[in-house]
Amino acid sequence: MQHTAEDEVYVLHDALQAWFRADTGAEALDDLMAHFCADFSMVGIAGRRLDRDAVQALFVGGHGARPGLEIAIEDVQRIPAPAPLAVLRYREGHAVAGGALAWRESLAVLRQDEGRWRWLALHEVPAG
């Protein structure tokens, strides 16, 4: 069953949580990277732009680096955009070892590619 762009937000973040906790093995990297378009880029909360290769390097270095990581997703809202794109706004919270959630606001652009939603662009800013 094909899922929606909104579903993909949860699917990817579940995969990221498992990756950074090492709930999945390093062999899962290809499956994780399959969520991203070849021309993916993001601006993270530090304000630095990363291309797909830089994001992959971040993942490789971060495998298992955050045991106990919890990622919460709230308020996913779709913003009208022409097909094959989906623009989504959502809140993302991160906590480690039962600590308080640190929130960020995210704006994502996904593109439907070969029958599945893949991430094209992501922009994150810290939020209270």
pLDDT digits (tens, 9 = 90+) for 60-99: 999 999 999 999 999 999 999 999 999 999 999 999 888 8
What is the arrangement of strands in the sheet containing 85-96, beginning at the earlier edge strand? Answer: 49-51, 36-43, 116-127, 102-113, 85-96, 69-79
Q: Is there a contact between 117 and 3 (Cβ–Cβ < 8 Å)?
A: yes
- Per domain, the residue ranges of the chain are 5-127
Instruction: Give the CATH number of domain 5-127.
Output: 3.10.450.50
Q: What is the predicted pLDDT for the residue at 12?
A: 97
pLDDT band at 2 (very low <50, low <70, confident <90, very high): confident
